[in-house]
Amino acid sequence: MDEKAGKTRVGYKKHQVTDTEGLVLGVLTTSANVNEVANLDEVLATADLPDNIHVYGDKGYRSVKNEELLKSKNLKSRILHNTKKGQALTAREKIRNKLIGKIRFKVEPNFGGINRWFNSTCARGSSTDETTGNRK
């Protein structure tokens, strides 16, 4: 539940698993107060993913626990790096984020489409390359 302008609203997040072209493979809907970092396993369970593919995700999914989860499932992490309190990203992390962003931008129109078509207000996503396991 969220209070805005004196009104209480119920909120939801849609977590999507897509391929790198934006085709939706799985969707998990949670309440808005659920943090992305806490439910990556549930999100990935919505799609049947092969081993050794790249999993792209926004900064909200970055954690040591999630990195270990991906390794245990034989998936390769391409989750964006986020800054730590009082520290900037290293040059390598900035370059990596930029390269990941070149692939992730393909799935962003899905989020806008969901907002327009289904009157949804929040979506998060992870994308995978199901065909080769390689970057496109």
Q: Give me 113's structure tokens.
A: 């489409």
Write down the pTM of the prediction. Answer: 0.70
Alpha-carbon gap, residue 110 to 116, rounded angstroms: 10
Three-state SS for 83? coil
List, for residues 84-119, the tens digit of each pLDDT value: 888 999 999 999 999 998 887 777 666 666 555 555
Task: Report d(CA 77, CA 54) in Å as an integer.
Answer: 6
Distance separating alpha carbons of residues 92 and 106, to the nearest angstrom: 23
Q: Tell me, what's the pLDDT at 130?
A: 47
User: Domains along the chain?
Assistant: 2-128 (3.30.420)
Identify the DSSP state of 131. Answer: T
